[in-house]
Amino acid sequence: MSQLGQFALTLAFVAATYSIIASLYGVRRGNDRLIASGRNAGLGAFAALTAAFGSLFYLFLASDFSVAYVVSTSNRALPYFYKIAAIWGGQEGSLLLWGWILSGYAALVLIQNRARHAAMMPYVTAVLMGGLLFFIAIILFVANPFAELVRVGPDGAMTAFTAADGRGLNPLLQYFLNVIHPPMLYLGMVGFAVPFAFAMGAMLSRQLGDTWIRTTRRWTMVAWLFLGTGIMLGGLWAYVELGWGGYWAWDPVENASLMPWLLGTAFLHSVMIQEKKGMMKVWNMVLVILTYIGALFGTFLTRSGIVNSVHAFAQSEIGGYFLAFIIVAAGGAFYLLYDRRGYLKTENELESYASRESGFMFNNLLFVAACFAVLFGTMLPVLSEWFTGIKMTVDETWFNPVMIPIGLAVLFVTGVGPLLAWRRSSIGSLRRAFTIPAAVGVAASAAVFAGGVRNPYPLVALTLAAFVAASIAHEFVKGTRARASSTGERLGEALVNLTLRNTRRYGGYIVHFGMVLLFVGFTGKAFDVETTANMDLGDTVTLRQYTVRLDDVRGERAANYDGSRAVASLFEDGVLVARMFPERRFYPASEQSTSEVAVRSTLIEDVYINFAGTVERADGAGLLAVIQVFLKPLVMWVWIGGLVVAAGTLIAMLPNKRPGASKRPPTVERAEESHEEGVHEDTQVRA
């Protein structure tokens, strides 16, 4: 089976190479048959990589320890569920997954657009296949997952052999979310190759209208959704698997996935200005290039070994190849942008800072500023070591003072933007739009302050969260009432139809509301408390209104680990509310220990218990359990917010519902359309 995988990789390499040559030569010569053959070769590359990935899948399920990569990340005792995760648990398999996903995206693009965008598509094909060819070359010649295990004899001769067992999957990755977390991240990061390819195709073909924007909007949203979901799953994995009580640590590899997500968010907002007003064309090209390069840079960080991270792969020569590819891709893209700048002239100018256009502009600047702040903080240890020989430590004490103000500014603009009209807002419309949200924000601020919150950051965050939530609710209420009065629909029916008639706008509002919930969850971190105690059976530890009693410690054994399970009773104000079972596990294959935490979650707070190990009693008469107890307010809202963001994104990707067969007065239709385009209430009444 390894030979089949090797052959499939070689075939994919040939197909991708031919696809590039045929597409470019075909468009140069105007040869449609050659262009079609290049497209078919791209589909062939996907088929070949599917065969290669399927071969690796079989090798893992069959525990074929004649293959070096299988030995490095799997073993016989590993449950089948985690053997799937082991496929991408190392360098070679994760690169093959990346290449396979990229080939799948390319195949979908080629099939979907086989009869459209004739001038642009050969270039799009060539760009997608160029990126794919790089990954196939790396897999085939540098990090081959099908390389067989060899033994070197005394005379230097190498002979193939089969190991008795493998070293097993990293214990930290033996968690059910790891089966879907890396694929979600890759689906997101790889997905940004599609809008990049269309942007390059538009410039190469000089088709620089809005076609490439409209064609790639949903592709960009799909990538953004997958990447955001992957980031959220990564946070949940860190929360329940690492035992430190947090879900985000500004780890370099966490940051590597955050940077393209921030840039992709800016791009999704910015393209609306180009579509509606013909503005920011060059800026949109810059953003789509930076988003794709950011995804590649994140991959470089993960694989180069230049940063220390629990997520990163071991240092290898692969980082140099990635850096060279990033330089070539970025240099070529920005040179092309410079050369085609004359085709990207703006059609309108910003008329007022009190306009929705300016809201989008400030939104863009904040997201880009956040990305570059994250980039600088991530690379600061490396840069300091290069220039001074001393490696700085950069953690949340550096990131939080920088990122929290930017985050609060983003939250503020999120609330203000929907309340502004296109072009310019009058004083009267601003007064009507801001009165209710501002009043809600002030009331929330007073309530939070009366509740004892004095720290300025959480006070401002919760105030802004209330303001933004009120502004979003105001938009829904205003639109629903307008539709209900115009059509005679009941309020619930009007709300659903309003949303489905303009999914992009109202789905976006739901995404914004999800972000509000995320910020509420983030704010809870300001109120975290924790304690650590060395406990014997029957001992208790108290944290605010909670008391934890250690009742038992039991030995456990599974196929691939030995462990101990603590049994703890949780009391709230003296009343038993839960029995919790944190664990400590030891994996013989890798000689590593991990913690399996116990969490009791409510909408208000989480009680989080970690069994950190054992220590010897002072009198030497046995062992004490080291129990860490964390009280973490509002964490549940982080996960709920993530679900709401995902739901809003899915709604925003739906096509708008067409008006039904019933005939309504044209004035009603015009009133609805004016509202859905974001024109303010005074204009709607006149309509």
Q: Is the domain of 490 the same as that of 406?
A: yes
Percent helix, strand and coil across the chain, each rounded to 5?
Answer: 65, 10, 25
Joined together, the tokens standing for residue 335 give 């040179």
- DSSP state, residue 612: E
pLDDT at residue 678 in the model: 45
pLDDT at residue 681 in the model: 36
279 within 8 A of 306, measured Cβ to Cβ:
no
Residue 311 in any domain: the answer is: no
Q: Is the domain of 156 the same as that of 93?
A: yes
Joined together, the tokens standing for residue 304 give 């180069």
382 within 8 A of 306, measured Cβ to Cβ:
yes
Classify residue 523 by burial, with Cβ atoms within 10 Å: 0-12, 13-18, 19+: buried
Residue 214 in any domain: the answer is: no
Higher pLDDT, 570 or 419: 570
pLDDT at residue 35 in the model: 95
DSSP string for 394-429: --HHHHHHHHHHHHHHHHHHHHHGGGSPSS---HHH
Sign of dihedral through CA atoms 670, 676, 678, 681? positive
Q: Is the domain of 624 the same as that of 643?
A: no
Provide the domain limits for residue 514.
401-525+638-686
From 134, 154, 174, the end of a domain falls on: 174
Q: Is the domain of 519 the same as that of 589?
A: no
Q: Is the domain of 552 the same as that of 571?
A: yes
- With 90 as the cut, is the pLDDT of residue 2 above it? no
Average of pLDDT values for 550-563? Answer: 90
Joined together, the tokens standing for residue 254 give 């966490």
Q: pLDDT tens digits for 248-281?
A: 989 888 899 999 999 999 999 998 888 887 788 8
Higher pLDDT, 671 or 453: 453
- With 80 as the cut, is the pLDDT of residue 428 above it? no
Q: Is the domain of 580 the same as that of 562?
A: yes
Q: pLDDT tens digits for 105-150?
A: 999 999 999 988 889 999 999 999 999 999 999 999 999 999 998 8
Whole-number Å distance between alpha carbons of 680 and 678: 6
Q: Is the domain of 461 the same as that of 597?
A: no
Mean pLDDT lowest among 179-183, 355-359, 379-383: 355-359
Q: pLDDT tens digits for 365-420?
A: 999 999 999 999 999 988 888 888 888 888 889 999 999 999 999 999 988 887 87
Mean pLDDT lowest among 67-76, 183-192, 439-448, 659-668: 659-668
Whole-number Å distance between alpha carbons of 457 and 217: 35
- Report in angstroms the alpha-carbon separations of 675 from 278, 414, 479, 523, 680: 21, 19, 7, 34, 7
- With 60 as the cut, is the pLDDT of residue 312 above it? no
Residue 395 in any domain: the answer is: no
353-383 core/surface letters (b: 16 or more CB in 10 A; e: else): ebbbbbbbbbbbebbbbbbebbbebbbebbe
In terms of phi and psi (left: phi > 0; alpha: psi -120 to 50; beta: otherwise), the region of 150 is beta
Strand locations in 117-207 (E): 150-152, 158-160
pLDDT-based confidence at 316, cuts 50/70/90? low
Q: Is the domain of 160 the same as that of 34?
A: yes
- DSSP state, residue 659: P
Residue with tokens 């309020």: 491
pLDDT at residue 674 in the model: 46
- With 80 as the cut, is the pLDDT of residue 167 above it? yes
Q: Is the domain of 44 the same as that of 114?
A: yes
Rounded to 5°, the CA angle 495-497-502 comes to 100
Residue 426 in any domain: the answer is: yes
466 within 8 A of 447, measured Cβ to Cβ:
no
Query: What percentage of residues in the chain have a pLDDT greater than 70?
Result: 93
642 within 8 A of 228, measured Cβ to Cβ:
yes
With CA atoms as reference, report the closest residue to 138 among 104, 102, 192.
Answer: 102
Q: pLDDT tens digits for 496-523?
A: 999 999 999 999 999 999 999 999 999 9
- Report in angstroms the alpha-carbon separations of 284 from 152, 206, 262, 373: 55, 16, 14, 20
DSSP string for 513-575: HHHHHHHHHHHGGGG-EEEEEEE-TT-EEEETTEEEEEEEEEEEE-SS-EEEEEEEEEEETTE
The number of residues in the chain equals 687
Q: How many domains does the chain have?
A: 3
With CA atoms as reference, report the closest residue to 128 among 16, 2, 252, 1.
Answer: 16
pLDDT-based confidence at 684, cuts 50/70/90? very low
- With 50 as the cut, is the pLDDT of residue 687 above it? no
- With 70 as the cut, is the pLDDT of residue 212 above it? yes
With CA atoms as reference, report the closest residue to 19 among 99, 129, 110.
Answer: 129
Element (H or E) spanning 572, and its range? strand 562-572
- Report in angstroms the alpha-carbon separations of 380 from 38, 53, 383, 447, 578: 44, 37, 5, 40, 44
Rounded to 5°, the CA angle 45-89-306 comes to 95
pLDDT at residue 686 in the model: 31
With CA atoms as reference, report the closest residue to 61 among 79, 43, 49, 45.
Answer: 79
Residue 88 in any domain: the answer is: yes
Q: Is the domain of 407 the same as that of 481?
A: yes
From 142, 174, 206, the end of a domain falls on: 174
Angle between helices 281-304 and 318-339 (to 10 degrees): 170
Residue 83 in any domain: the answer is: yes
- Report in angstroms the alpha-carbon separations of 4 from 9, 44, 48, 88: 9, 16, 10, 19
Per-chain mean pLDDT for the chain: 88
Specify which residues 615 forms β-bridges with. 624
Q: Is the domain of 38 the same as that of 140?
A: yes
Residue 612 in any domain: the answer is: yes
Q: Is 65 helix (H, G, I), strand (E, B) or coil?
A: coil
69 within 8 A of 90, measured Cβ to Cβ:
yes
Q: pLDDT tens digits for 17-56?
A: 999 999 999 999 989 999 999 999 999 999 999 999 999 9
Average of pLDDT values for 71-89? Answer: 90
Whole-number Å distance between alpha carbons of 440 and 426: 22
Q: Is the domain of 409 the same as that of 491?
A: yes
- With 80 as the cut, is the pLDDT of residue 668 above it? no
Antiparallel, parallel or unpaired: β 592-596 and 583-587: antiparallel
Q: Which residues contact 626 (CB under 8 A, 6 or more apart)?
A: 532, 533, 534, 535, 611, 612, 613, 614, 615
Whole-number Å distance between alpha carbons of 238 and 242: 5
Classify residue 163 by burial, with Cβ atoms within 10 Å: 0-12, 13-18, 19+: middle
Residue 416 in any domain: the answer is: yes
From 174, 204, 234, the end of a domain falls on: 174
Query: What percentage of residues in the chain have a pLDDT greater than 90?
Result: 63
Q: Could you give the count of Cα atoms lying within 13 Å of 314 in the half-sphere of its Cβ?
A: 7
pLDDT at residue 387 in the model: 86
